[in-house]
Amino acid sequence: MSAKKKSPIKLQNKLTGGEALIKCLENHGVEYIFGFPGGVVIPIYDAIVNTKKIKSILVRHEQGATHMADGYARATGKPGVVLVTSGPGATNTVTGITNAMMDSIPMVVFTGQVTTPMLGKDAFQEADMFGCTLPFVKHSYLVKDANDIPRVVKEAFHICNTGRPGPVLVDLPKDTTSGICTANLDPNMDLPGYTVQTTINKTDVKNMAKMFKGSKKPLLLVGHGVVIAKADQEVKELAEKLQSPVVNTLLGKGGFPETHPLSLGMLGMHGTAYANKALVNCDLILSIGCRWDDRINGNNDEFCIGAKKLHIDIDPAEIGKVVKVDAAVVGDAKMVVKELIKHVKPLDTNAWKQECDFYKKEFPLHYSTDKGLPAQYIIDQIYKISKGKALVSTDVGQNQMWSSQFYKIDKRDTWYSSGGLGTMGVGLPAAIGMQFGRPNELVVAIVGDGGFQMTAQELTTAFIHKLPVKVFILDNKYLGMVRQWQELFFDNRLSGVDLTGNPDFVKLAEAYGVKGIRISSVKGAPEKIKAAFAHNGPVVVHCEVVKCGNVFPMIPAGKSAYHMIVEPPKTKIK
């Protein structure tokens, strides 16, 4: 009979740094820690054994942990938490941290570190995480005293989830987490250089309201800031009062219901043709929580020529960074729009709305099933069968753009996509994080065959925790978006994009204990999708789609919406 395991001896009324950390996380309402252990974080993992409030989620790769925390944060609005070991464990999180930074996602990443006496001496598995992540975090800490842990944790959660959200990194040497902490677990914060704007300049709001006077063709541009600020209802009220058409960015999906009569859907490089037509022809554009990035503004000199440009953003650094604006208000989108509604008057936009409706009829999204199984058909069926009520996670590439076109989002916090960084491999782990955050809702991951294989091992995480995530792999045997660019702009000289040799994804899923379904034709596809949704566990649906399908409309890189390609060109694009 084996001896009963005993916990390490504890000093009376004192905690180790690891124990203090876990208790602080409990106080912040943390439900899950996504991570992967190693030697220097054993004191923390040992403390996790005693908590009844936090569940440790063992991933299969540290990058997967960050994407799960990211998906959890987007689905719940609460910071995602990551815990990994030092060296390669820590550096494996950099992609996920950068992804969160680019998309303004609240996340706290705890990385293990070598003992403080060994810092800077190239000790085993030492990596300067404080230094190497400096451009990719909102803030970072290297904690050398166990008594600093409660204060640092409190500050980290405050910083990551206030103002413009973002990731915070906390680097923890092993002697800090194994040392004794006697500090108050609810200390005062010490952030003299960090302030959060809680008021708005009402004069600026009134000046912005005056800009609308006389506008016949207004356009509201909804960005991710609307979703973050939970300002969707205020934006809807503003649009309906002005009777202004609305376009949204990739991450702005859910900030305004895409089934609303005033919605024109996503604009930009692969946005709807009617959204881009409205962009070209508007006489005033108000960006709310959008940074005018290059995927919607490829050429600043030709962006909304002659139109008044207005900007609402919580980050003052974004005002004037890309587009010179005629009026701006710095502040939380919900607060600003709520105040703006008081000062604007309804506009005469009947002719403008009729023009936009004409664009919808003239340039609808479409696809053909004549030559095989189109990826668009799969997404369209997912949308119809789920009745538009699923939480959707995409990977990056053609699957992402088709999903943004054909899966309309009406509610905020139900859409995940990697926007700023464009990270392949996010789709599956992000969906897992979303499912942890909202366990009773349908979560669908729409991924490509390339991106899926970067994090496919996380199927184990879904299987172990019995998460009913539905993963649709759009398998065209190519890195489809790169192939599309090579076809259109490089005389179809295909290089480095052929994914011949992909595994049988159904068998791969079954090897992980996950149900696999194959769809290879339009016939019977809806029934198989329904069967996937009905299954009470994780499912991988291997969709063998048309190999050389392209995403249209398309605006070539570096061009403006004036140069939009609506249909496949018959000659080489210059």
Q: Which of 62, 155, 258, 458 is catalytic?
A: 62
Q: Which of 454, 481, 554, 564 is catalytic?
A: 481
Say whether 124 is catalytic. yes
Encoded tokens for 73: 């944060």
Which of 150, 143, 140 is closest to 28 using CA atoms? 150
What is the spatial distance between Cα 356 and Cα 264, in angstroms, rounded to a whole number?
Answer: 8
Rounded to 10 degrees, the C-alpha dihedral 88/90/91/92 comes to 80
Encoded tokens for 502: 């992909």
Say whether 26 is catalytic. no
Q: Which segments within 60-213 are labelled E, that is strand?
A: 80-84, 107-113, 139-142, 167-173, 180-181
What is the spatial distance between Cα 171 and Cα 179, in angstroms, rounded to a whole number?
Answer: 15
**Is the alpha carbon torsion for 406, 418, 110, 45 positive or negative?**
positive
Task: Give the amino acid at 247.
Answer: V
Q: Which of 125, 197, 243, 457 is catalytic?
A: 125
Q: What angle do CA 98, 252, 338 make, to 5 degrees?
A: 115
Encoded tokens for 477: 């045997």
Cα 390 to Cα 205, 468, 528, distances in angstroms:
36, 12, 17
Q: Please list the helix, strand and coil fractions of the chain in percent, rounded to the nearest 5, in that order.
A: 40, 15, 45
Q: How many CA atoms, within 13 angstroms, populate the side-chain half-sphere of residue 299? A: 14
Contacts of 232-240 with C-beta under 8 Å, sequence gap 24+, read 232/256, 232/257, 232/411, 232/412, 234/333, 234/334, 234/337, 234/338, 234/341, 235/288, 235/333, 235/337, 236/260, 237/337, 237/341, 238/337, 238/340, 238/341, 238/344
Answer for the pair 59, 458: CB distance below 8 angstroms, yes or no: yes
Say whether 174 is catalytic. yes
Say whether 125 is catalytic. yes
Phi, psi of 246 (to 5 degrees): -130, 135
Q: Which of 23, 138, 154, 174 is catalytic?
A: 174
Say whether 434 is catalytic. no
Q: Which segments within 253-314 are labelled E, that is strand?
A: 263-266, 284-288, 308-313
Contacts of 305-308 with C-beta under 8 Å, sequence gap 24+, read 307/219, 307/282, 307/283, 308/211, 308/215, 308/283, 308/284
How far is C-alpha 108 from the geometric centre of its chain's CA atoms?
16
**Is the alpha carbon torsion for 423, 274, 365, 412 positive or negative?**
positive
Contacts of 252 (CB under 8 A, 6+ apart): 221, 222, 223, 224, 226, 227, 266, 289, 290
Q: Which of 124, 321, 389, 490 is catalytic?
A: 124
Contacts of 257 (CB under 8 A, 6+ apart): 232, 236, 263, 409, 410, 411
Answer for the pair 130, 142: CB distance below 8 angstroms, yes or no: yes
Task: Give the amino acid at 260.
Answer: H
**What are the residue numbers of the active site?**
62, 124-125, 174, 481
